[in-house]
Structure 1
Amino acid sequence: MPVQTPTRRTLLVAAPALLAAPALAQTRSIGPAPYPDRTVRIIVPFAAGGASDTSTRVVAQKLTEVLGQPVVVENRPGAGGTTGVDYVVKGPNDGYTLALGGLSMTALAMGLYSRMPYDPVRDLVPISPTVLVPIGIGVRTGLGCNTLAEFINLLKANPGKYTYGSAGNGSSGHISCVAFLRRTGTEAIHIPYRGSGPVFNDLLAGTVDFTADSPGLLAPHHPDKVKALVMATEERSSTLPDVPTSAEAGVPGYKAYSWFGLYGPPGTPQAVVSRIAEAMRVVLNDPATVNRLDREMGLPPLRQTPERFAAFLREEIDYWVPIVRASGARAD
């Protein structure tokens, strides 16, 4: 069969398309690519396994779907979370490396450290909170305490004998235990770790005696291996409904919580902040994500705009810094 050659009419029709192709390619290459066009990293400043890590991985999974690019979690623990945050603060501000910030590496750290490597208000660009973290106290079952009153009596009878683990000096778990000990007039020895995961490993092994952490981390071990004695909140946790609140357990006024959220380094473009904030609005209203965070992990989503999140941080600093300084706790 002879090969058919294009007619003049075909050439005339095709010519504009052929001429337009380079022009279109040129048009697409003008200006920066829309954000994001590659992998986004979230630096979690604690070891894997804690509430900060597990909740952020749930968020990152859905955020990947919403943004259309991989969102990965990288753990950089140390110094109560300030090491990982400082890594982001001093890094590029193009929106591809974000910090998971929280109470411990902002308001609590300001009260604990005489000098910090960054200023939480000046050097962190608030984008979106992720979750609120209720905190409860859990003791190893080997202590034989079934109520908070029994545990307090044990501590009073043996001042300085028992130990508690936290995710690090200045972490929310650390300050929660300090506040508990001061309020109950008891003493115990603090052992800092590089995240909640290692704390629970040693708590289950009997190396430390108690800790303060989220319902989602206490629940898998309660009540067989770790007995949760109190939730330092006004309402009971849906994850641990049998655990009394502070008031119900006989220590009214004792409250402890934490929270986490996404931050960019100084100079993060407003367009990037808005893009991620809008994506997070979708993520934190997704029924499946909410179910995993709130119902399964005991970490209710915390929904705020970047502007409200910035104001919230300042409010938390005003509230917590005086409490930390009055406690006498230091991390340096």
Structure 2
Amino acid sequence: MTERRTPLRLAGASLMAAPVVSRAQSGPWPNRPVRVVVPFATGGGTDITMRLLAPKLAEILGQPIVIENRPGGGSTVGTDFVAKSAPDGYTFVLATLSSTGIAASLYANLPYDPAKDLAAVAPTVFIPIALAITRHGWDVRTLPEFIAALKAKPGGYSYGSSGIGTTGHIASANFLRVVGARAEHVPYRGGGQSFTALVAGETQFTHDIPSLLRGFHEAGTARVLFTNQPERWRLLPEVPTAAELGLPDYKAYSWYGIFGPAGVPRPVVERFAAAIDQALADAAITARLEELNTPAMRGWDPERFARYVVEEVETWAPLVKASGARVE
């Protein structure tokens, strides 16, 4: 597997971190580059988010943030790598709902326990999910037409995702369960490949981040049928919400958060959590996140985030079971 590392170094003056001493080092933390694993391929939502935050985090902490993409296993490969890394405060992961709350129930033999083997640091952004359909050789325009097409050809259509067990996979599986239809799942190694397949008509639909689907919608190569958020997105005002279309209880969302391996010194966790919250408060980052339709999750301490992860495991267990998705 090819690893991609991108060091993001300081630009201009930096704010040095407050003294935090780890058991595995002498001197304040961090005193060398901090690695953050992104468990997906480049170009997806997690990658975009981490590359947006990394320069500001480097400025705040006074050390480069090295981003390392380790895709595979629906984000579990990179997450497991971090769970088994030394808890010295220099290896973290930008994990997601799919890596934690969903994976706990989806995988028969998940190699890590999201609540026990990962140290929750801080969430970063909340992710609404949208449903998009291909326009390649397909003149389906509305949700009722789409559902009718699926039911008219049970199992004859397919949907793509950025991997088995990802939020897009489970969102699509649950959508099919809710509307009483069947389709085949085609997992890819990232959102980019999934979008390419959708545009080419190799798959007929996908669930993913609205901001990533917007360009295809506006170009006419795909059609976003709805977004799953409280109100219509201002950049796609013509697209209704799931609730408007009669799906008020349909769950389709994600979130991204920073975790380290269990055992990371508590002062390091608290310092990194404070730096993440500070970065999310930056005006330029806030504006970009609003443009991406991925609001910042600010004001969380590590304890609250750890409790949230446990709650998400409990919330998604029955949904994963009902979807019929399972990885042995």
TM over 0.5: same fold? yes
Can you give the 5+ residue segments of structure 2 that lack an aligned partner in the other structure? 1-24
The equivalent position to 1:299 in structure 2, one of 284, 294, 300, is 294
- Asked if structure 2 preserves the Cα contact closer than 8 Å seen for 1:168 and 1:174, the reply is yes
* Larger-Rg structure: 1
The equivalent position to 1:127 in structure 2, one of 117, 121, 129, is 121
Give matches, 1:1-332, under 5 Å: 32-142=26-136, 143-223=138-218, 224-295=220-291, 297-303=292-298, 304-332=300-328
- Asked if structure 2 preserves the Cα contact closer than 8 Å seen for 1:149 and 1:249, the reply is no
How far, CA to CA, are the matches of 1:61 and 1:202 in structure 2?
A: 33
What letter is aligned with 1:66? I
What letter is aligned with 2:276? M
How far, CA to CA, are the matches of 2:157 and 2:83 in structure 1?
A: 38
What letter is aligned with 1:64? A
How far, CA to CA, are the matches of 2:79 and 2:279 in structure 1?
A: 23
Paired residues, number: 301
How far, CA to CA, are the matches of 2:189 and 2:110 in structure 1?
A: 18
What letter is aligned with 1:166? S
Instruction: Normalising by structure 1, report the TM-score.
Output: 0.88
What letter is aligned with 1:42? V
Residues 196-220 of structure 1, C-alpha deviations (whole Å, 9 max, x = no match) = 1211122222222111001111111
How far, CA to CA, are the matches of 2:142 and 2:273 in structure 1?
A: 42
- Asked if structure 1 preserves the Cα contact closer than 8 Å seen for 2:174 and 2:322, the reply is no
Q: CA deviation at 1:145?
A: 1.8
Can you give the 5+ residue segments of structure 1 that lack an aligned partner in the other structure? 1-30
Q: CA deviation at 1:82?
A: 0.7
Q: CA deviation at 1:272?
A: 0.8
Instruction: Say which SS state the counterpart of residue 132 (structure 1) adopts.
Output: strand
Q: CA deviation at 1:61?
A: 2.2
Instruction: Normalising by structure 2, report the TM-score.
Output: 0.89
Share of identical aligned residues, percent? 49
RMSD value, Cα: 1.3
Q: CA deviation at 1:50?
A: 1.1
What letter is aligned with 2:175? F
- Asked if structure 2 preserves the Cα contact closer than 8 Å seen for 1:47 and 1:75, the reply is yes
What letter is aligned with 1:202? A
Residues 115-172 of structure 1, C-alpha deviations (whole Å, 9 max, x = no match) = 1100110011010101101001001112212211111111111111111111111100
Q: Residue 11 of structure 1 corresponds to which residue in structure 2?
A: none
How far, CA to CA, are the matches of 1:137 and 1:103 in structure 2?
A: 18
How far, CA to CA, are the matches of 1:328 and 1:205 in structure 2?
A: 28
Greater fraction helix: 1
Q: Residue 16 of structure 2 corresponds to which residue in structure 1?
A: none
Q: Residue 14 of structure 1 corresponds to which residue in structure 2?
A: none
Between stretches 109-118 and 236-245, larger displacement belongs to 236-245
- Asked if structure 1 preserves the Cα contact closer than 8 Å seen for 2:57 and 2:279, the reply is yes
What letter is aligned with 2:40? F
- Asked if structure 2 preserves the Cα contact closer than 8 Å seen for 1:152 and 1:186, the reply is yes
Between stretches 176-185 and 110-119, larger displacement belongs to 110-119
